[in-house]
Amino acid sequence: MGVKISLGKFISTRRKQKFMTQEELANKMHVSKSAIAKWETDGGVPDRDNLYRLAEIIGVSVDAMHHIMAGNASFEEEEIAPPNITQDVIQLLEAYGYEVVRPEEKRNIVVKIKEEER
C-alpha cells in the first residue's frame, strides 16, 4: 500500500535525491532559500511559473505535482526515500585501501590514502 505525502515532503525528498541543498535549489530557481524552506514545510506552494520550473529541476511532471497537492497520489516507501549510496561508496573505497574520514556534515566526505604498513 502506498504512502500519501505532502507536496512539501515530496519537494524536500526529491531535492535530496538530486543531492541539492535548499540554497542550491533556490539559486537554480532564482528564488530565495526561505521560499524553498517555506514550500518544503508546507507553509506555502510555488506559484504556477515556479511550479513548472521546480518540476523540471527535480525531474517530475507538473501533473504529478498537481496530484500530490490534491492528495490523489501515493508512493511506495522506496520511491520517496532518498538514495543511500554513501555506505556502498565507502565500502568500495575501503576495499581499495582508502580511509574515509566523515566530518559532521554528511555532504562532505574526505578521502585519505592509507599509508602502507611496513
The domains found in the chain, sorted by start residue, are 7-80 (1.10.260.40), 84-118 (no CATH)
C-alpha cell at 61: 511532471
Q: What is the per-residue pLDDT for 108?
A: 38
Q: What is the per-residue pLDDT for 100?
A: 67
Q: What is the per-residue pLDDT for 30?
A: 96
Q: What is the per-residue pLDDT for 2?
A: 63
Quickly count: other Cβ atoms within 10 Å of residue 5's Cβ. Answer: 18
8 A C-beta contact, residue 54 and residue 11: yes
* Positive or negative: CA dihedral 47, 49, 51, 53: negative
Going along 10-90, which residue ranges are E strands?
Answer: none
Q: Which residues of the chain have pLDDT under 70?
A: 1-3, 74-86, 100-118
